[in-house]
Amino acid sequence: MIIKEADFVSSITSLAQLPGKKLPEFAFIGRSNVGKSSLINMLTGRKQLAKTSSKPGKTQTINHYLINQAWYLVDLPGYGWASVSKEKKAGFGRIIEDYVRKSANLSCLFVLIDLRLPPQAIDLSFIQWVGFHEIPLAIIFTKADKLSKQQALQNQKQFEKELLVEWEELPPILITSAEKKTGKDEVLDFISAALRG
């Protein structure tokens, strides 16, 4: 897939504000500072489509981008950020939980995981929660360029091992680096295949 058009549509704080035009939605979520905005910009080929920030918790709304007039790329708030109130941190955040559980057009939820880190409890519990609600998901490891190939593979295997404690089989897994543009074709091909469905 080649992304020729990527247009910002809306920034919402409740499901009542979802775009009126019903199209398949591919949503991206992860812990704060996982590199979500950089990944979205890499996938779309737009440097400033999603705002990047060194301060965790920048995305506090659900942002919809219309891609090639055919599907929405959905940028979800990060979970587990440090600099917001305890009320907003309860669970994974009401807006996230509402969207993930109730959006009728969600084709796939991409959960972003920082490949540099050992398995984080919040990531594992979020993936578990998504699986419990039978939401279609795929895992995207980010920042693969920050490690040697051997270390990256080791960290990936460690995370997969943790997942398999609860999961019978692993969800689809993709490896990316926004900096090196690694994994761009794989993610877009995955979306293409899902659209053909």
Question: 116-159, pLDDT tens digit by residue?
Answer: 999 999 999 999 999 999 999 999 999 999 999 999 999 999 99
Confidence (pLDDT) at 16? 87
Confidence (pLDDT) at 90? 45
Residues 6+ apart with CB under 8 A from 136: 106, 107, 108, 109
**63 in any annotated domain:** yes
**79 in any annotated domain:** yes
**120 in any annotated domain:** yes
Q: Looking at per-residue confidence, does 113 or 83 come out higher? A: 113
155: domain range? Answer: 6-196
Listing DSSP states for 77-120 in one string gives PPBS-SSS-HHHHSTT-HHHHHHHHH-TTEEEEEEEEETTSPPP
> Total structural domains in the chain?
1
Taking alpha carbons only, the member of 31, 175, 22 closest to residue 106 is 22
Question: 42-72, pLDDT tens digit by residue?
Answer: 999 988 777 655 554 455 789 999 999 999 9
**1 in any annotated domain:** no
CATH of the domain at 79: 3.40.50.300
Residues 6+ apart with CB under 8 A from 170: 139, 160, 163, 164
Residue 15 has pLDDT above 90, yes or no: no
Instruction: Work out the angle at residue 29's Cα, subtended by the Cα atoms of residues 28 and 35, and round it to the nearest 5 degrees.
Output: 90
What are the percentages of helix, strand and coil residues in the chain, rounded to 5? 35, 25, 40
Length of the chain: 197
**163 in any annotated domain:** yes
**pTM of the model as a whole:** 0.90
**166 in any annotated domain:** yes
